[in-house]
């Protein structure tokens, strides 16, 4: 779901900021602890890649994901002065909270999961087939914060998301749009001023 906010933010940012200005601003991203995010992403990808071949990794993945969430929230807190990061932090915390009280896994509503590929639903029903998610049941805590919101066509990506995902993506969208449009009006005003100055200069004989 994170990619949805990024893609939408890029599209709106390019439209409002312009292609050249938007890309230039996007290239100027400067965040405290900037290496934390790519490192966390790589760790998650490695877990997904090797957990099926390692019993101990599969068993420990829930705890590892919790540590990843904590590190991610520290990174977000360090950059809380950035536009939208407060919303991102709130969304991540809600996802962390529901996973923390449910053994490190995100509960998924069966009714919401009906929009997904039947193969994935079967994996959810087989509790050993997926390590980051599990099918919601009577023992689930804070189920309202789980993956309970189904998205299907005409939405371009069929998926099930949580309230935390929505809040997080709003923050991502706000950050990217603000980043790519920042300074746009100032740039236009400077161009207008330069044009006016050029027109006011009298030609020398």
Q: Calculate the average pLDDT of the chain.
A: 85
Position 86 in a domain: yes
- Residue 102 C-beta-side C-alpha neighbours within 13 Å: 27
Position 83 in a domain: yes
Position 26 in a domain: yes
pLDDT digits (tens, 9 = 90+) for 33-51: 988 888 988 888 888 788 7
pTM of the model: 0.82
Position 204 in a domain: no
What is the number of residues in the chain? 205
Position 34 in a domain: yes
Position 190 in a domain: no
Cβ-based burial of 12 (10 A; exposed 0-12, middle 13-18, buried ≥19):
middle
pLDDT digits (tens, 9 = 90+) for 77-112: 999 999 999 999 999 999 999 999 998 889 999 999
Domain housing 45: 2-182
pLDDT digits (tens, 9 = 90+) for 177-203: 999 998 876 544 544 455 555 555 555
pLDDT at site 200: 54
Domain count, the chain: 1
């Amino acid at each position: 779901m994170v990619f949805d906010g990024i893609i939408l933010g890029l599209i709106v940012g390019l439209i409002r900021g312009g292609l050249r200005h938007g890309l230039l601003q996007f290239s100027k991203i400067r965040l405290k602890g900037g290496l934390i995010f790519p490192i966390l992403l790589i760790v998650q990808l490695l877990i997904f890649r090797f957990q099926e071949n390692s019993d101990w990794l599969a068993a420990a993945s829930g705890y590892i994901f919790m540590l990843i969430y904590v590190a991610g929230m520290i990174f977000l807190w360090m950059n809380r002065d950035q536009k939208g990061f407060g919303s991102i932090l709130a969304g991540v915390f809600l996802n962390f909270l529901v996973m923390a009280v449910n053994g490190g896994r995100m509960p998924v509503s069966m009714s919401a999961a009906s929009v997904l590929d039947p193969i994935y639903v079967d994996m959810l029903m087989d509790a050993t087939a997926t390590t980051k998610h599990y099918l919601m049941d009577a023992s689930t805590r804070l189920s309202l914060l789980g993956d309970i919101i189904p998205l299907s066509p005409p939405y371009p990506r069929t998926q099930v998301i949580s309230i935390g995902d929505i809040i997080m993506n709003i923050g991502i969208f706000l950050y990217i749009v603000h980043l790519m449009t920042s300074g746009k009006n100032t740039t236009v005003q400077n161009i207008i001023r330069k044009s006016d100055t050029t027109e006011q200069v009298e030609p020398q004989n």
